[in-house]
Structure 1
Amino acid sequence: MEKTIAIIRGDGIGPEIMAQALAVLDVVANKFGHTFRYEEAPMGGNAIDAFGVPLPESSLKTCLASDSALLSAIGGPKWDTIDPAIRPEKGLLALRAGMGLYANLRPSKLIPQLKEASPLRADIVERGIDFMVVRELIGGAYFGEHKTYQRNGEEAASDVMAYSQHEIERIVRVGFDTAMKRSKRLCSVDKANVLDSSKLWRKIVNRIAEEYPEVEVRHMYVDNCSMQIVRDPSQFDVIVTENLFGDILSDEASQITGSIGMIPSSALGEGTRGLYEPIHGSAPDIAGQDLANPIGMILAAAMMLRYSLGMPAEADAIETAVNKTLESGLRTGDIMEPGKTKVGCAAMGQAIAAAV
């Protein structure tokens, strides 16, 4: 098979970890007889420096013309003080909207070799951590009206969290469909005791639940969910929620697995084309020092193969190679533990590629 992949190398450690992911993909292509064509799509701080905007129109066109897109990480202190309208994060929001990517799937799964790295008590970890957060991605407060104004002689601000029926329906169906492929348990997270948008959310979840009689459904307020994730993560299979809540909960869910550097995520829309990335930031403090953990980026590439490119065996090969490499005792600095061998970003990537 021949597939075109848009490559967003990003900022900070982004180019380093992307290089390792592409090296692994090249090995996969050679092993399984595929051809992967990489098309560069600058975005983020580097695009601001080169083009004056965080997402050039040409980059969006490249992503739309590709079979899928692979993103490392964007942003950094260099661009923190520029006009908010053109900060790196605006490029990411525009890319999601431009590609119609409304569903973010972020797994929280403990890799057995790293169970000692989890901040949770051993007895909690032993119960198991393996669930998926399905987050709505292009609605809610992040995409609502933002306004700063004067009120009663002082500065005030407001952000509108708005959702329409169809926006809720489509992400809720992704949640149910995901649950059907797993253990058929869905937890819908809202704040229906306070927010009208959450009351509509809950109403729609209950209606769609009638179409999925095999799925066990429960509702949970977001504050309770944040507590339950650290109290007993084994109770969750699929969590579906709106944009702001999902942003916070998915970061919490990733950290209980031991390292934010290990977790991939996907952003999907109506078709198979998606945007795949690790969940961590650009870590400018360690950029260019061969200290970054490339595993989240490599697993994002595996996720892309599975969900967008229709290559489950190839995805399995990468995931198995990651497990074998960790089993051999290799560790980057963020997941280092006594008795293991510390390696840099390039060496970890090379080891995983060799294991494939």
Structure 2
Amino acid sequence: MTTHKLLLLPGDGIGPDVMTEVRSVLAWIEKAGLASFEIEEDLVGGAAYDAYGSAVSDQAVDLAQQADAVLFGAVGGPKWDDVPYEVRPEAGLLRLRKDLQLFANLRPAICYGALADSSSLKREIVEDLDILIVRELTGGVYFGEPKEIIDLGNGQQRGIDTQVYDTYEIERITRVAFDLGRTRNNKVTSMEKRNVMKSGVLWNQVVTKVHAEEYADVALDHMLADAGAMQLVRNPKQFDVIVTDNLFGDVLSDIAAMLTGSLGMLPSASLGAPDARTGKRKSMYEPVHGSAPDIAGTGQANPIAMISSLSMALRYSLDMGDTATLVEKAIAGVLEKGLRTGDIYTDGMTKVGTKGMGEAILAELDVLADAAGA
């Protein structure tokens, strides 16, 4: 039986609540004889600041470097609003992304048929939606220099952020998108703002060149990012894989998230480059939702996004695609049976808490496993 090294970083708020349910799913996988796990756990975010005075310790970063996959909960909360900027809880997440060189962020937006009425859009627009946004994560305006606020005198200041992309950064994220497109519906849409941004012009040129030279078998469309935002709300099922830069990816993936009805449903993956020797990528998996400190510890959090993040880890880092599919089917089965946490509850459904949803998914895994063995 293969043993996989995992690092769990529950973080703040509801992070520990939902990570508990991931531990239960990992235990189920081990008990089923599908794999074994060597699990480490450490602090990140506000919890790390309280313990160490920094948002993530060197020890935790070292463990992340050694892990086959990192599972990350959530960070932040009003408790840490006044800590210095450089050690704010979110800085732990940014350091992990930087030190592990996690340049590719994968954000699926999947609307289960059973949840179509929870979306703010009409059922026919979102039912069975399944799109994937591939966001460049370590370049662009969030990391470009100069980044500063300068004093102009006379009570005036100027805030400066710089949008910078090099060819290689666009090439590598483009290849990730096309490779994923080949495993799905063989269609990629690239989004930028080439009409007003020079970085958008370069982005468009590089994507076009990589497509022509390496991925001509994949259908490619180009779309301005603002038009893409409109089309995500108007007709999201026209898309399959969307590739875009850091800033637009941040915005577009949150738009796509709400198509599904709740941020509590959506996972994400952040991947590095393949190792030249082993082919493995550094990776981190996290739910899209925040730390929701107002419900932390109350048993109300939806664990599905965290469990789905584990499913992505099984698929993309641990070579356990069949097990990932099993977990995804278990989630769908529970939703079909009408079980809902508060964030996705509608009249006539059965409301459960964090633990109740986790237990229901485990029970559904038992049913699926028994059916497969019959």
Deviations 1:215-261 (A, max 9, x none): 11111111111110000001101100000100110011011011110
**Amino acid of the structure 1 residue aligned with 2:71:** L
Mapping of residues 102-251 of structure 1, within 5 Å: 102-126=103-127, 128-145=128-145, 146-151=147-152, 153=154, 154-210=156-212, 211-251=214-254
Gaps of 5+ in 1: none
Say which SS state the counterpart of residue 273 (structure 2) adopts. Answer: coil
Paired with 2:317 and 2:86, the residues of 1 have a C-alpha distance of 31
**Amino acid of the structure 2 residue aligned with 1:325:** V
Shift of 1:74: 0.7
Paired with 1:223 and 1:32, the residues of 2 have a C-alpha distance of 48
Paired with 1:155 and 1:179, the residues of 2 have a C-alpha distance of 45
Say which SS state the counterpart of residue 158 (structure 2) adopts. Answer: strand
Length, aligned pairs only: 355
Counterpart of 1:90?
91
Say which SS state the counterpart of residue 260 (structure 2) adopts. Answer: coil
Deviations 1:49-68 (A, max 9, x none): 10000011100000111111
Paired with 1:339 and 1:50, the residues of 2 have a C-alpha distance of 45
Deviations 1:140-182 (A, max 9, x none): 1111221110125311110011111111110011111111111
Counterpart of 1:78?
79
Mapping of residues 317-332 of structure 1, within 5 Å: 317-332=326-341
Deviations 1:264-301 (A, max 9, x none): 11000113331001100000011111000000000100
Q: TM-score, normalised by structure 1?
A: 0.98
Bigger mean CA deviation after superposition, 100-109 or 322-331 = 322-331
Q: Is 1:303 the equivalent of 2:312?
A: yes
Counterpart of 2:368?
none
Q: Is 1:341 the equivalent of 2:350?
A: yes
Say which SS state the counterpart of residue 338 (structure 1) adopts. Answer: coil
Paired with 2:152 and 2:228, the residues of 1 have a C-alpha distance of 35
Say which SS state the counterpart of residue 270 (structure 1) adopts. Answer: strand
Paired with 1:11 and 1:39, the residues of 2 have a C-alpha distance of 17
Say which SS state the counterpart of residue 101 (structure 1) adopts. Answer: coil
Paired with 1:39 and 1:100, the residues of 2 have a C-alpha distance of 21
The runs of at least 4 aligned residues of structure 1 exceeding 3 Å deviation read none
Counterpart of 2:265?
262
Q: TM-score, normalised by structure 2?
A: 0.93
Deviations 1:182-205 (A, max 9, x none): 111111000111111111111101
Mapping of residues 255-294 of structure 1, within 5 Å: 255-271=258-274, 272-294=281-303
Paired with 2:334 and 2:110, the residues of 1 have a C-alpha distance of 17
Paired-residue identity, %:
45
**Amino acid of the structure 1 residue aligned with 2:79:** K
Counterpart of 2:361?
352
Counterpart of 2:62?
61
Paired with 2:237 and 2:319, the residues of 1 have a C-alpha distance of 29
**Amino acid of the structure 2 residue aligned with 1:129:** L
Shift of 1:124: 1.8
Say which SS state the counterpart of residue 135 (structure 1) adopts. Answer: strand
**Amino acid of the structure 1 residue aligned with 2:200:** S
Say which SS state the counterpart of residue 120 (structure 2) adopts. Answer: coil
Counterpart of 1:42?
43
**Amino acid of the structure 2 residue aligned with 1:213:** A
Q: CA RMSD in A?
A: 1.1
Q: Is the 8 A contact 1:302 1:315 kept in 2?
A: yes
**Amino acid of the structure 2 residue aligned with 1:13:** I
Mapping of residues 15-26 of structure 1, within 5 Å: 15-26=16-27
Gaps of 5+ in 2: 275-280, 366-374
Shift of 1:88: 1.1
Say which SS state the counterpart of residue 98 (structure 2) adopts. Answer: helix
Paired with 2:334 and 2:242, the residues of 1 have a C-alpha distance of 30
Shift of 1:33: 4.0
**Amino acid of the structure 1 residue aligned with 2:130:** D
